[in-house]
Amino acid sequence: MTNTPSSLKWGGFLLGFALGGFFDGILLHQVLQWHHLLSNVNAVQEMRIQIMADGMFHLLMYVIAAVALVKLWRARVATTAAGAGHRLWGAALIGFGAWHIADGVFSHWVTGIHRIKIDSPNPLTWDLIWFLVFGVLPSFIGWWMLRGPGARSGGGRRAVATLGISALMAGPIAALPAPSDSTQMVVLFAPGVSSGQAFNALAKVGARVVWVDRFGGMWAVQMDDPDRAWQLYKNGAMLVSNARFSLGCFSWIKI
């Protein structure tokens, strides 16, 4: 990145890296629900911990995005230079691809904490497709953009605004309630609430149990009157999906 200040270079890279993480978390953890961060960790099978791990993962992406935005703010003067937007997009694409390359190597193959599609009979095929399409290809395009002459005009501020808004929107998108039948929901009770206490709390609001995990903390239920679900918070519930107080990753979980 000749003639591009270090803050602009690293700001674009880190923002692209964070967007890669948000893309992975929102699409694969929530929308498609192909895996959680620690899906293949046998010692971590309790869904409460899986949810917490996904949440901490999104928090880390927020921290990286915040660092990137600070760097870009410090390099705001450089965004008016010729070709700044072209190079900033290139750095962001390399960062986006770098996230998927790092995730593929470390998470899928070295540690095996999850795979792209864990229920596939051939998970390696999905890993390789994701690695190439979202890792290698964006990185190559970004590298090509950085080596090319770029645009004559600046365009850097427009690129910063587009990338920054994309990163800031990723969190609220992750917190949207799941688009599913509002009469079906998942209830997570606090540690210390016994299975009997949880069952009685659900019975009080007319919830019919569909499934419960082996730890007795998470329950899938059917409710004819979902507006009563908020009452579960008075009886030991920590989170209730598809209720008016649903929260982030938890609200997208399906059983």
pLDDT tens-digit readout, 64-100:
999 998 888 888 887 777 777 888 889 999 999 999 9
Mean pLDDT of the chain: 80
How many angstroms separate the CA atoms of 77 and 187, rounded?
50
- Cα R_g (the chain), whole angstroms: 22
**Is 1 within a domain?**
no
Ramachandran bin of 254, using left for φ above 0, alpha for ψ from -120 to 50, beta for the remaining angles: beta
Predicted pLDDT of residue 162: 78
**Is 44 within a domain?**
yes
Give mean pLDDT, residues 159-178: 67
Give mean pLDDT, residues 106-128: 92
The Cβ of residue 208 has, within 10 Å, a number of other Cβ atoms equal to: 11
Residues 70 and 91 in one domain: yes
Segment of 89-98, 176-185, 245-254 carrying the highest mean pLDDT: 89-98
Q: Which range has the worst mean pLDDT, 34-43, 82-91, 160-169?
A: 160-169
Question: What does the block give as tokens for 40?
Answer: 């293949």
Residues 141 and 23 in one domain: yes
Global confidence as pTM: 0.70
Residues 46 and 163 in one domain: yes
Q: Which domain holds residue 214?
A: 184-252
Q: How many helices (H) and strands (E) does the chain have?
A: 7, 4
Question: What does the block give as tokens for 101?
Answer: 């390359």
Q: Is the model's pLDDT at 215 over the cut of 90?
A: no
Residues 218 and 152 in one domain: no
**Is 179 within a domain?**
no
**Is 61 within a domain?**
yes
Q: Is the model's pLDDT at 20 over the cut of 90?
A: yes
Q: Which CA distances in Å does 11 have to 152, 157, 164?
A: 21, 13, 10
Give the pLDDT band of residue 245 (cuts 50, 70, 90). very low
Residues 138 and 191 in one domain: no
Predicted pLDDT of residue 18: 94
Question: What does the block give as tokens for 160?
Answer: 């910063």
Q: Which of 141, 174, 207 is the last residue in one of the domains?
A: 174
Q: Is the model's pLDDT at 130 over the cut of 90?
A: yes
Predicted pLDDT of residue 203: 92
How many angstroms separate the CA atoms of 149 and 243, rounded?
53
Q: Which of 143, 174, 205 is the last residue in one of the domains?
A: 174
The Cβ of residue 70 has, within 10 Å, a number of other Cβ atoms equal to: 13
Provide CB contacts within 8 A for 84, sequence distance 6+: 4, 8, 78, 154, 155, 156, 159
Q: Which of 119, 148, 174 is the last residue in one of the domains?
A: 174
